[in-house]
Amino acid sequence: MKHLNFKYVTKSRQSILIDRQDIVLWRQRYLRKIKEYRREERYIYYQDETWINEGHTSKKAWIDQTVLSCRQAFLDGLTTGLKQPSGKGKRLIIGHIDGVEGFVEDSLLIFEAKKKLTSKNVSFEDGMVKATLIDIVRQHREEHCEKYVVDEMAAQHGIIVLRLPPYHCELNPIELVWAQAKGYVAKNNKTFKMAEVKKLFEEGLQNITCEKWSSWVSHIIKEEEKMYGLDDMIDNDLFTLHLQIYY
């Protein structure tokens, strides 16, 4: 009997080997479409949203191991540094759009998050965990969102919206933008106040050059090709396995 040579691929999300069929179909449709648009030399934009909390900071720091107590630090004229906040604090919601040449002008959206479900008369209880609240929103989504406003706005300007399949952030180069900007905030966040976090995040975005963005897009294209081929390989090997079991 032929031995199948499966290679386990470590990913940040669930292994591609155990993806649901609907996710596989969505991924394949996306990959075929994006390849088609690239062949047609269409101008491709990437959009995504993220968030960042007031208390966002680095989890690691340099320490002087010769200072053994707060009293010693005081006597030596040193400081123990700014105390890290006990909670995450308020949250900023951020959205942006990148094109081949970098950020789209005036496309940055940044605002403070508000905890509201009451505007749609959706019942919920205080203390519910995030998973439960998301499930409630999902149950009421269709009755409140028959159409997406972004689709209607895009259609007015001749723009096609191509949605990434769920759990595939590695196919969106703007995720690398978020990582760099958040890293800048973590490194420089000193007051853990919303105003400074917003200012630092914007500064982090300004540090992203067109050259960096271009290299990230190139990286994503390679990931697309790799993922497309992996799906095909898995499909062929599983088909071979089914034939062997049958016979």
* HSE, side-chain direction, 13 A CA sphere, residue 155: 6
- Give the model's pLDDT for residue 108: 94
DSSP letter (8 states) at residue 144? H
- Give the model's pLDDT for residue 229: 80
Length of the chain in residues, anyone?
247
Query: Are the CB atoms for 216 and 176 separated by under 8 Å?
Result: yes
Q: How far is CA 192 from CA 24, 90, 93, 153, in A?
A: 41, 10, 16, 36
Q: What is the CA radius of gyration of the chain?
A: 23
- Give the model's pLDDT for residue 75: 62
Q: Where are the domains of the chain?
A: 16-112+163-246
pLDDT values of the chain reduced to their tens digit, one per residue, 247 residues: 444 444 434 444 445 666 788 888 999 999 999 999 999 999 999 999 999 999 888 766 555 566 666 666 656 665 555 556 656 788 999 999 998 888 999 999 999 987 666 666 777 777 788 788 888 878 777 666 566 778 888 889 889 999 999 889 999 999 999 999 999 999 999 999 999 999 999 999 999 998 999 999 999 999 999 888 876 676 665 545 444 555 5
H helices of the chain, where?
A: 21-39, 70-75, 130-144, 149-156, 174-188, 194-206, 210-246
Concatenate the DSSP letters of all residues of 30-67 into one string.
Answer: HHHHHHHHHHTT----EEEEEEEETT---S-----TT-
Packed helices 21-39 and 210-246: angle between N→C axes, nearest 10 degrees: 130
- Give the model's pLDDT for residue 186: 93
- Give the model's pLDDT for residue 57: 85
pLDDT digits (tens, 9 = 90+) for 130-181: 788 888 878 777 666 566 778 888 889 889 999 999 889 999 999 999 999 9
Q: What values do phi and psi take at 84, rounded to 5?
A: -70, 140
- Give the model's pLDDT for residue 24: 87
CATH dotted code for 16-112+163-246: 3.30.420.10
pLDDT digits (tens, 9 = 90+) for 210-221: 899 999 999 999
